[in-house]
Structure 1
Amino acid sequence: MRKMILLICVLALATVGIAPLAAQDDMMGPSVMLAPGEDLVIGFGAALTGEGLAPFGIDIRRGVELALEDRPTVTVDDVEFNVALDVQDSMCSPEGGQTVANRFVSDDSIVGVIGLMCSSAAEAAAPIFDEAGFSTISASATAASLTTSDFTSFNRTVPTDAAQGLAAADIIVNVLGATNVAFIDDGSAYGTGLVDVIIDAYEELGGTVAIRDAVTVGDTDFRALLEDISATDPDLIYFAGFNAEGARLIEQRFDVGLEDVPFMGADGIYGSELVDLAGDFAEGVYATRPIPASSDELDAFAERYIETFGEEPPSAFNTNSYDATNLMLDAIEAVGYIDDQGDLVIERETLSEFIRSASFDGLTGVIECDGTGECSSADIGFYQITDGAFVQQELEMMEE
């Protein structure tokens, strides 16, 4: 097998005064080379285990699988290569992200990566991917800091929390009429970053922060925190985190007299898993999530998803991962070339440049990458659990 990473460097042998053997403009950065007949491998990293997390990873993986069902091969210069997926559980933690990143960059067959799923994992993995010259495309890591930290490897096909946070603040004040809000996050890059954005916008709209606190992921009893919140007499509880902690907060607020206080979250609690965990206590809970643009293609995809997997999507990100996969495949076909030996060569720097300037009509809407890693133009939708399912709400702003 001739799978290898080519790293062609000019060696300056200064000690003996030997001149370089190749001109600087002939140098090539890290590249992937595949011999004819070898699979082209794309890495995939998401949380595939863990209470309240696995449904997100499973849903995102399904979007990738449907994309590869549509495009099982890539064709470069009329030569076809089968696409294979290397699936890894990156969990939803910095440690998980680093482990999977190190796994992928040490494998010379990995062309690029779809993922990582969680912002905390993606943030910890990005420096590792950067150093190796990799390109990653996440369908779900939404922390605003991921595209403002000068990471060269990170891209996403989901809106930033800079957008979701502004929308949430507007909804809190102008739709729900809440002006004394208790904010809770889960201590992650996603949770703390989202609450930071919301509070900034919320306070500009005249809102008061009743209390801001955080839960520890994995804890199960939040009654003491909720009692502290109850003492502030909030008119809304906002939580930025995931299903397991969200469901317990939703349920345990009934134990401290907060059952009549509305509860709101974001895409981290959107999906059937929250209802499964919280049961009837989840009725009436609000959430925001990115929403794809309406189209016949989207409707057909939704029907196909249910036919293929036998259930409604358990999260909001399957369409984003479908677009992420197609973006990666488009980039590979655009920049790959067949060398004189008949091998496929994909230069990592050129792949990154293509992704960061790509523009196409995706399943979620127009995918237009702006050079920083931001590629999504999707809107933010507002939902409420009604009769055990999230139902999209019309946004009617309150009168001034």
Structure 2
Amino acid sequence: MKRFASLFLLLMILALALVACGGETLECTDPLGCVEIAPDDPILLSSSLVISGPNTELGLDSQHGVEIALDFREEVLGHPLELQPEDDGCNAEGGQTSATKIVSNPQIVAMIGTSCSGAGVPASEIISDAGYVMVSPSNTSPALTDPAQSFHEGYLRTAHNDLIQGAAMAEFAVNELGLTKAAAIHDGDPYTEGLASAFSNSFEELGGEIVAFEAEAADATNVEPLLTTVAAAGPEMIYYPVFIPLGSLITNTARDLADLDGVVLSGADGMQSPSFLENTVGTSEGMYLSGPDLSFENTFYQDEFLPAYQEKYGTEPTAPFHAHAYDATNLVLDAVEEVAQQGSDGTLLIGRQALRDALYATSGYEGITGTLTCDEVGDCADARISVSEVQGGEFVRIWP
């Protein structure tokens, strides 16, 4: 009997020791699998943003927003935070390459990206098929949240849908500028074509006429034939929501064509960067550009975010989507905090489907960019669009 008592006591001591050392087993029952994070290991996020090439200012600006969010947050559930940055190249190939690399690492919890909608289309399919999740700070193409086009489960965004931006720019053109004839130019990218189409449709709904709807290659070196054709159609305004290289070329060329004297030039957020202004000194003066309204109602942006940005990077923000990236990162971290299983030793088990579900269920989240609520196709933005005018070589918000 003594022997059994001793054995029982030994088993009890071992059981208590296992509990004290966190020896309980966390079980993954998530249909998409789980990310297991060992005690003291970081929670690893990845970004896929354009951080090389002519549109770098757009992607680096968003990456800075992600990094500031991680700096401010410091840790989640006792684990440090780490970022693995990748480059989306602002094109389909870059989106495919970066997403493929990200899903090859089972420790990556979620992706913040992409910068460009053209990269987002292939990236979202790869991320979805692998059971991961992504939140884009600056994809605005309507196609990406349209189940009939390019929506894939696991895709969300904090940026506006360009159906909203196109309608806002059309309203400005018709109701504020009193214009009745416009032309639109795109480069075939989902962002540029989607926004040009949204503008054109809304402009016509308001009673205006689209006299030309043209496409030009993003890497074009001569747009004079294109603009000559557009000028012959007699527009009062040209809207070309393209990226910096093509936008700069169109702007500079248009100012040299006598047939376009007096025609209003306008673009969008893909050109709202210091590089565009440097490329178009004098020629972009008086031009209108639509984009997200950065006159946020909260004081956090001015009092805490911008000072932190300037101190860390030594510059003002270089594009419009840094705050959207900050919000995207915090949406992911809040969802991790909500769904992660915790072991007593600090181990985390994060279900991938549970993480998706938590993100899609986001409602009334108070971010820098407004009050965010995600719908079933991942549109989360508190979408507010403004129009800026280039005045004295700077973007100056003028409407609404």
Following the alignment from structure 2 to structure 1, what is the Cα–Cα distance between the partners of residues 367 and 212?
A: 40
SS at match of 2:282: helix
Contact kept, 8 Å, 1:195 with 1:240, in 2: the verdict is yes
Contact kept, 8 Å, 2:30 with 2:353, in 1: the verdict is no
Alpha-carbon distance, 1:27 to partner: 6.5
Alpha-carbon distance, 1:259 to partner: 4.0
Name the counterpart of 1:119: 117
Written as runs of structure 1 = structure 2, the 5 A alignment for 1:212-361 is 212-257=213-258, 258-292=260-294, 293-300=296-303, 301-339=305-343, 343-359=347-363, 360-361=365-366
Following the alignment from structure 2 to structure 1, what is the Cα–Cα distance between the partners of residues 30 and 390?
A: 57
Name the counterpart of 1:62: 64
Following the alignment from structure 1 to structure 2, what is the Cα–Cα distance between the partners of residues 366 and 387?
A: 34
Name the counterpart of 1:155: 156
Following the alignment from structure 1 to structure 2, what is the Cα–Cα distance between the partners of residues 268 and 74?
A: 33
Name the counterpart of 2:85: 87
SS at match of 1:194: helix
Written as runs of structure 1 = structure 2, the 5 A alignment for 1:361-380 is 361-380=366-385
Name the counterpart of 1:392: 397
Q: Does 1:43 align with 2:46?
A: yes
Note the alpha carbon deviations across 1:109-159, whole angstroms, 9 max, x for none: 110000011111111111111111111000000011111124111101111
Name the counterpart of 2:73: 71
SS at match of 1:369: coil
Q: Does 1:104 align with 2:105?
A: no
Following the alignment from structure 2 to structure 1, what is the Cα–Cα distance between the partners of residues 154 and 267?
A: 29
Following the alignment from structure 1 to structure 2, what is the Cα–Cα distance between the partners of residues 27 and 37?
A: 23
Note the alpha carbon deviations across 1:347-399, whole angstroms, 9 max, x for none: 0000000001113110111111122201111311111000000001044xxxx
Contact kept, 8 Å, 2:68 with 2:308, in 1: the verdict is no
CA distance change for structure 1 residues 30 and 168 in 2, over 3 Å: closer, same or farther? same
SS at match of 2:184: strand
Following the alignment from structure 2 to structure 1, what is the Cα–Cα distance between the partners of residues 101 and 30?
A: 27
Alpha-carbon distance, 1:279 to partner: 1.4
Alpha-carbon distance, 1:28 to partner: 4.2
SS at match of 1:391: strand
SS at match of 1:260: coil
Name the counterpart of 2:11: none
What is the letter of the counterpart of residue 268 of structure 1? G
CA distance change for structure 1 residues 124 and 380 in 2, over 3 Å: closer, same or farther? same
SS at match of 1:240: coil
TM-score of the aligned structures, taking structure 2 as reference length: 0.89
Bigger mean CA offset, 28-37 vs 158-167: 28-37
Identity of aligned residues (%): 33
Contact kept, 8 Å, 1:7 with 1:29, in 2: the verdict is no
Contact kept, 8 Å, 1:7 with 1:28, in 2: the verdict is no
Contact kept, 8 Å, 1:74 with 1:81, in 2: the verdict is yes
Following the alignment from structure 2 to structure 1, what is the Cα–Cα distance between the partners of residues 35 and 116?
A: 27
Note the alpha carbon deviations across 1:45-77, whole angstroms, 9 max, x for none: 1111111x10001100111111111012111xx
What is the letter of the counterpart of residue 222 of structure 1? V
Contact kept, 8 Å, 2:272 with 2:320, in 1: the verdict is yes
* Structure with the greater alpha carbon radius of gyration: 2
Contact kept, 8 Å, 2:388 with 2:397, in 1: the verdict is yes
What is the letter of the counterpart of residue 241 of structure 2? A
Following the alignment from structure 1 to structure 2, what is the Cα–Cα distance between the partners of residues 27 and 179?
A: 55
Runs of at least 5 residues in structure 2 that lack an aligned partner in the other structure: 1-25
CA distance change for structure 1 residues 27 and 168 in 2, over 3 Å: closer, same or farther? closer
Note the alpha carbon deviations across 1:223-268, whole angstroms, 9 max, x for none: 1101111212211011021111101100001222124211111111
Q: Does 1:30 align with 2:28?
A: no
Following the alignment from structure 2 to structure 1, what is the Cα–Cα distance between the partners of residues 30 and 311?
A: 50
Runs of at least 5 residues in structure 1 that lack an aligned partner in the other structure: 1-5, 9-25, 396-400
What is the letter of the counterpart of residue 333 of structure 1? E
SS at match of 1:279: coil
Bigger mean CA offset, 229-238 vs 348-357: 229-238
Alpha-carbon distance, 1:339 to partner: 4.1
How many residues get paired? 368
Following the alignment from structure 1 to structure 2, what is the Cα–Cα distance between the partners of residues 96 and 59?
A: 18
Note the alpha carbon deviations across 1:6-58, whole angstroms, 9 max, x for none: 998xxxxxxxxxxxxxxxxx66432111111222110101111111x100011
Following the alignment from structure 1 to structure 2, what is the Cα–Cα distance between the partners of residues 181 and 7?
A: 60
Q: Does 1:171 align with 2:172?
A: yes
Following the alignment from structure 1 to structure 2, what is the Cα–Cα distance between the partners of residues 298 and 219?
A: 38
Following the alignment from structure 1 to structure 2, what is the Cα–Cα distance between the partners of residues 214 and 84?
A: 41
Alpha-carbon distance, 1:213 to partner: 0.6
Name the counterpart of 2:131: 133
Contact kept, 8 Å, 1:287 with 1:383, in 2: the verdict is yes
Note the alpha carbon deviations across 1:275-312, whole angstroms, 9 max, x for none: 01111111111011112432211211223323332222
Following the alignment from structure 2 to structure 1, what is the Cα–Cα distance between the partners of residues 133 and 212?
A: 40
